[in-house]
Amino acid sequence: MVALYILLVLMCMLYFFVRPKRQVQKKSYYIAYGGEVEHVDGLTRKINDLSNIDFDFEGQSIDLDNYEIFVVDGDSMSKYGIETGNGIIVKRIISDKKEIEKNSIVIYQIDSTRYMKEHKDVEKIVNGFKMRCLLGYSTLKNTNEEIYNSIKDLDSDLEQKEYKDKLFFKLDSIRNIFPEQDITISTTYKDKQEKDYSIHTLPEIYGKVEYIIPKDCIKI
């Protein structure tokens, strides 16, 4: 009887050591470009596995399973505390794309067809994501002047001719590709200082940045 008991104990111990390990699926990550895509060097940093790490923001515990994680490459949003090497926690937005609040940091998915039309000298198709700060919504069914009048109170810089001309240039550019579509107008900063405008259609909206991951959570 004792021998049988010992045998059962040994069999249980053997199973514990040789049993198949449960595979934990590692969360996948994306790169969010903070700048002109063709001017951004390849990101050399790799994010560590955050699948089993909890983050606490202002006392609120964040369940990463409800979000997507990006690593930032570029400094166009450094004014808002988002720089190269940061991780960002993004809420995917599939519907209600017109309900994003002004000044939210938005992730846009790069439309490769649009990109190739705007950069005729580029041979390689570019895919990926980029970040912008949302200013407002409009539609290309309106004239440039009508769009300008609808958002000028949201951005005091638009009172200056320099910035009004930048906005009109971007509006004219996208009209050649997506005439009469609903759009977002957002801002970006080149070299951390030079302000510019960015126009995207609603289908290009991918998500909204909810939290910034501390840099010490990123492996270099």
| pLDDT tens, position by position, 93-111 | 988 898 899 999 999 998 8
Worst-scoring range by mean pLDDT, 18-22, 104-108, 128-132, 194-198? 18-22
Q: Which of 107, 45, 111 is nearest to 76 (CA)?
A: 107
In terms of pLDDT, which residue wins out, 123 or 198? Answer: 198
pLDDT at position 167: 97
Q: Taking the CB of residue 57, how many other CB atoms lie within 10 A of it?
A: 12
